[in-house]
Amino acid sequence: MQTASSSHRLPQVATTLPGPQSRALFARHDAQLTGANGDHEVYPLVEAGKQDHLIVDVDGNTFADHLSAWGASPFGATPPAVKSAMEAAWDRHGMQISGWLPNQAALALVDKLVAIAPGRLRRVEYSVSGTLAVEGAVKFMREATRRPLVITFGGQYHGESTYMTAGASSDLSNVSSGRTQYAAGVVMVPYPNRFRSPFRRGPGPFDECEVLDYLDYLLVQQVHPGQVAGVLVEPVLGEGGIHAPSQRFWTRLGALCRRWGWLLCLDEVQTCMGRCGAMFAMQRWQDIDPDLLLLGKAFAAGGQPIAAILGTDAVMAATELHLGSTYGFAPAACAGALAGIGLIEAGGVLENVRALERIFLEVLSPLKGEVEQLGDVRAVGAMAAVEFVRSTSCITPAPAFQFAVHQECLRRGVLGISQRGKWHLRLQPALNMPQALFRFSCEMLADAIRAVAKAPPAEHPTVQDAVAMAAR
């Protein structure tokens, strides 16, 4: 089974999952944690620790880590440069509230961010999580334009605040199932998707600029363009299944923004700091000119929580907003983030990311056409997804198939990103995962897909049924 030739260690799963030790811990802690933590099929293990790119569970099983702390651990388990920088800053400063008390650690990071920030972005606002950065950006857009509305794209994810969960939809119909609120001021347009269009049947490739035609229609029928403060968009759709719009889309969206005075806010929480093979994902295209850009996840470099809002002088210079957060830009977090940027600038990381993208497409693409349920294969740097359908002609989503593939991957020691009710499975390795381990993982994923295709699981009658089940 373990076909990759390499000098590094391959994962090894020796028990059924969950193993007996994990099972015992689940039994005890299910009574102590919230019910939302009680689904042990999604991740049927308790981590004992991490070693480079392997997760070790309490039963001694090891798994190739394709979660990378959901993108927040971009250099493997404990990158030495990040660790020593954090320790040195902590020795000097301990904890500090950087938004109130200026300190050298935070200011050194600000200097670096301004130096690498693309386009007109010249200012930094401190933050601590992606969610808070998005909330802050919405406030900046409204303050700067004195307009109320924000355009977002369906399938995006912006965190778990009460407001922005309503401004996103990747977590299926959570909003309408009453788990979060409907929020005023959000106009949602489908995310550009070449494979699956809400306006058409069957598989693409479609012209994904149709969603901008739809936006034009909304601007006549429903929304006055002069009421729109800005557009909140992920340059590559992450939680929604790894979709990268075309250059044409960005050119047209930029023209719309200029025409109507809308601010362009890129949510790069998941795509920043090398994840997509460039420092910022927006650099994969020409002429994207954001007014705001949000950093999170990989920005922490695997260290402590940190996020940021980058903005133009026009948006941020005269602001009266105070978006302070106690932990935003804590000194040790800043030092770790700075060390992480240093690792990327030292070279080799972005090249590795682009090689991972090629490997994923090379290994998985041939299954299209061979496996009836494999609808699409997508990779943008070290963000990769396979999308499952009931049959390639009708492309009705196949969430049960996706979940079965995930279980087969786990048995083969490959821990990717899977969520109930969704029909895409993702790999999100560290940016410096050795190529042989990544290739091995892709081969295991291909193997798992072929195994499940031999006896595909029953799907719920409709996708809405599957979503309702997932939401229970």
Residue numbers at the binding site for ligand PMP (CB under 6 A): 70, 129-131, 134, 157-159, 234, 238-239, 267, 269-270, 296
- The residue among 96 and 131 lying less far from ligand PMP, judged by its C-beta, is 131
Residue closest to 76 by CA, chosen among 346, 437, 471: 437
Q: How far apart are CA 133 and CA 323, in angstroms?
A: 9
Compare residues 249 and 440 and give the one whose CB is closer to ligand PMP.
249
Q: How far is the CB of 239 from ligand PMP (least distance, A)?
A: 5
Considering the complex, state which of residue 10 and residue 427 has its C-beta at the smaller distance from ligand PMP.
Answer: 427
Please state the closest distance from residue 435 (CB atom) to ligand PMP, in A: 25
Minimum separation from the CB atom of position 133 to ligand PMP (A): 7
Minimum gap (Å) between residue 165 Cβ and ligand PMP: 10
404: which residues sit within 8 A by CB, 6+ positions away? 452, 456, 457
- Taking the complex as a whole, how short is the minimal distance between the CB of residue 160 and ligand PMP, in angstroms? 7
For the chain, give the longest Cα–Cα distance: 62
Is residue 395 classed as helix, strand or coil in its secondary structure? coil
Per the CB < 8 A criterion, the answer to whether 402 and 424 are in contact is: yes
Strands 292-295 and 307-312: antiparallel
439 contacts 427 by C-beta, under 8 angstroms: no
Nearest alpha carbon to residue 133 among 273, 298, 265, 237? 265
Q: Write out the two tokens for 380.
A: 């943008």
Q: Which is nearer to ligand PMP, 225 or 296 (CB)?
A: 296
User: CA–CA separation, 27 vs 126, rounded Å?
Assistant: 40
Q: Which helix (H) or strand (E) holds 1?
A: none
Indicate the residue among 309 and 433 with the shorter CB distance to ligand PMP: 309
| Residue 137 or 316 with smaller CB distance to ligand PMP | 137
Residue of 246, 225, 239 whose CA lies nearest to 154: 239
Nearer to ligand PMP, 267 or 459 (CB): 267
- Three-state DSSP class for residue 136: helix
Pair of tokens at residue 467: 């979503």
Q: Which is nearer to ligand PMP, 296 or 340 (CB)?
A: 296
Nearer to ligand PMP, 231 or 389 (CB): 231
| CA–CA–CA angle 239, 372, 428 (5° rounding) | 25
With respect to ligand PMP, which residue has the nearer C-beta, 233 or 371? 233
The helix or strand, by DSSP H or E, that contains position 80, with its residue range, turns out to be helix 80-93
Query: Minimum Å distance from CB 166 to ligand PMP?
Result: 14
As measured in angstroms, the least distance from the Cβ of 464 to ligand PMP is: 24
- Beta carbons within 8 Å of 325's beta carbon, 6+ residues apart: 99, 126, 127, 128, 132
Residue, CB closest to ligand PMP = 130
| Smallest separation, CB 288 to ligand PMP (Å) | 16
The first and second tokens of residue 64, run together, are 């190739």
**Least distance (Å) between residue 381 CB and ligand PMP:** 14
Best CA proximity match to 338, nearest among 91, 103, 110: 110
User: How far, in Å, are 162, 190, 232, 438 from residue 152 at the CA level?
Assistant: 16, 8, 5, 33
Question: Minimum CB separation from ligand PMP for residue 269, in Å?
Answer: 4
